Amino acid sequence: MGVRFRTALGDVSPYQAGRGGGEGTDHPDGAEKALLAQNEGAFGPVAAAQRAIQEEAAQGHRYPESGFAGLKREIAAYHGIPADNVFPAAGSCAVFHYLSLCLLDPGDEVLFCSPTFGAYGLEARKMGAVPVSVPLDADGAYDPAALLGAVSDRTKIVYVANPNNPTGGLVLRAALSAFLDAVPGHVLTVIDEAYFDYVDDPAYPDAIAEFFSDERPVAVTRTFSKIFGLAGLRVGYGVLPADIARKLAKVQMPFEVNRFALAAATATLRADPAEIRRRREATAAGRLRLVGELGAAGFAPLPASANFVQIRVGDAAAVAHDLAERGILVRPLGSWGQPDSIRVTVGTVEETTRFLDAFRSVMATGTPS
Ligand SMILES: *Cc1c(COP(=O)(O)O)cnc(C)c1O
């Protein structure tokens, strides 16, 4: 074929998702699969969001609000910041994409710790930029000192996943503050807080409340995909300096956030905060139970802070395969460079019970097939 693709695409492979509901949720034995491979919230959309989605159905032939002014106002009020600092998009991955499109020329560097969320490196490679990674610290958290040591003249973006996926490690308040004071002014720091509402450590900072300012090259991303239960609708946002938000608006797809997502996100932000607290507490209980029972079974999960736990199991691909045969989907971490580990999402109480039973049975059969 004679068409000439961009050189950068040679280094790009499509985003690799974990196994999930898209492949069907019924297990051959009739039980529903436990979907613990993608860190989706265990609880569905809040009731008000479900109603909002239904109420929008009759307007499905109408484009959503251009520029998303209504959702911007809701998010701005939720955080107590100006609406000009809010950039809604089809998930936080879309925010990473548009930041990359606005900032990265070929040969520029994008810095993060490894292993981490795949989108950071993927979005860099799409632009012909160079992903540069330094190791996480021993607890599986981003290492601010290592990041600072790797910043160069070509660095345009530094990501800080807090907590990190897949390990769950946290950068605490003092360390993040010192990092932001030290990072050179030509670098945009993107703090990814996809799991913010799950974390209950008092030393964990709210980067929007504590570090965001219109004058500082800092962007914070949040998503409706996790605790808010809207992963299937694709909506998230960045909180960033107004000048950067205006640049992102230049490259965003028109009407990118659909009217169902806009309505559901708005209803979710207005919902009773007690429901989100209940989800945080239920998830923390499930996380503690997983860590405790896995520890008692002789495994040592990494310190966990969100709705997932990383565990060393030996041959992770085989363990994930054997769990899938029992109707439990988890994420083997081979494609993240950790072929000996799986990541399991904290689901409902029933799902956690099913996972633990299946896991003990798989591990007891010796080297899994
Ligand atoms: C799940 C996740 C996201 C969310 O991505 P969306 O595009 O908003 O669904 C962002 N960052 C990390 C680290 C995640 O694990």
Coil, strand or helix: which one is 228? coil
Domain boundaries, the chain: 18-44+273-364, 47-269
The residue contributing the CA closest to ligand 1 atom 12 is 194
- The two structure tokens encoding residue 249: 């608006």
304 lines ligand 1 (CB under 6 A): no
Give me the tens of pLDDT residue by residue for the chain, a chain 369 residues long: 899 999 999 989 998 888 887 776 666 555 689 999 999 999 999 999 999 999 999 999 999 999 999 999 999 999 999 999 999 999 999 999 999 999 999 999 999 999 999 999 999 999 999 999 999 999 999 999 999 999 999 999 999 999 999 999 999 999 999 999 999 999 999 999 999 999 999 999 999 999 999 999 999 999 999 999 999 999 999 999 999 999 999 999 999 999 999 999 999 999 999 999 999 999 999 999 999 999 999 998 999 999 999 999 999 999 999 999 999 999 999 999 999 999 999 999 999 999 999 999 999 986 544
Distance in Å, CA 236 to ligand 1 centroid: 9
Closest residue by Cα to residue 339 from 367, 363, 315, 318: 315
Closest residue by Cα to residue 194 from 52, 305, 34: 305
Distance in Å, CA 115 to ligand 1 centroid: 15
**Which among 100, 171, 223 is the best mutation to test ligand 1's pocket, defined by most ligand atoms within 8 Å of the CB?**
223
Q: What are phi and psi of 177, to 5 degrees?
A: -60, -45
Coil, strand or helix: which one is 58? helix
Distance in Å, CA 62 to ligand 1 centroid: 28
Distance in Å, CA 82 to ligand 1 centroid: 24
- The total of other beta-carbon atoms located within 10 Å of residue 143's CB is 20
Please check whether residue 309 is in contact with residue 294, taking contact to mean a CB–CB distance below 8 angstroms. Answer: yes
User: What is residue 174's predicted lDDT score, i.e. its pLDDT?
Assistant: 98
Q: What are phi and psi of 148, to 5 degrees?
A: -60, -40
Q: What are the residue ranges of helices labelled H in the chain?
A: 47-56, 69-79, 92-103, 119-126, 144-150, 173-182, 207-211, 242-251, 259-270, 273-296, 316-325, 349-364
**Fold equal for 18-44+273-364 and 47-269:** no
pTM for the whole structure: 0.96
Report the CATH number of the 47-269 domain. 3.40.640.10
Closest residue by Cα to residue 283 from 306, 260, 265, 267: 306
Sheet holding 308-312, edge to edge: 308-312, 341-345, 331-332
Closest residue by Cα to residue 171 from 142, 212, 198, 149: 142
Sheet holding 218-223, edge to edge: 86-89, 236-239, 218-223, 188-192, 155-161, 109-114, 130-135
R_g over Cα of the chain: 21
157: Cβ contacts below 8 Å, ≥ 6 apart: 99, 100, 103, 104, 110, 111, 124, 187, 188, 189, 190
The residue contributing the CA closest to ligand 1 atom 11 is 194
Distance in Å, CA 346 to ligand 1 centroid: 16
Distance in Å, CA 19 to ligand 1 centroid: 15
161 lines ligand 1 (CB under 6 A): yes
38 Cα nearest atom in ligand 1 = 1
Cis amide bond preceding 217, omega within 30: no
Q: What homologous superfamily is domain 18-44+273-364 in, according to CATH?
A: Aspartate Aminotransferase, domain 1 (3.90.1150.10)
352 lines ligand 1 (CB under 6 A): no
310 lines ligand 1 (CB under 6 A): no
Distance in Å, CA 107 to ligand 1 centroid: 26
Please check whether residue 207 is in contact with residue 220, taking contact to mean a CB–CB distance below 8 angstroms. Answer: yes
236 Cα nearest atom in ligand 1 = 8
With residue 189 as reference, give the H or E element that holds it: strand 188-192
165 lines ligand 1 (CB under 6 A): yes
User: What is residue 368's predicted lDDT score, i.e. its pLDDT?
Assistant: 47
164 Cα nearest atom in ligand 1 = 13
286 lines ligand 1 (CB under 6 A): no
Coil, strand or helix: which one is 329? strand
91 lines ligand 1 (CB under 6 A): yes
The residue contributing the CA closest to ligand 1 atom 15 is 165
What's the rounded Cα separation, in Å, for the pair 314 and 316?
A: 6
User: What is residue 369's predicted lDDT score, i.e. its pLDDT?
Assistant: 45
Q: What are phi and psi of 175, to 5 degrees?
A: -70, -40
**How buried is 282 (Cβ within 10 angstroms: 0-12 exposed, 13-18 middle, 19+ buried)?**
middle
User: What is residue 21's predicted lDDT score, i.e. its pLDDT?
Assistant: 74
164 lines ligand 1 (CB under 6 A): no
Q: What are phi and psi of 150, to 5 degrees?
A: -105, 0
Distance in Å, CA 345 to ligand 1 centroid: 14
User: What is residue 31's predicted lDDT score, i.e. its pLDDT?
Assistant: 66
Distance in Å, CA 13 to ligand 1 centroid: 18
User: What is residue 29's predicted lDDT score, i.e. its pLDDT?
Assistant: 55
225 lines ligand 1 (CB under 6 A): yes
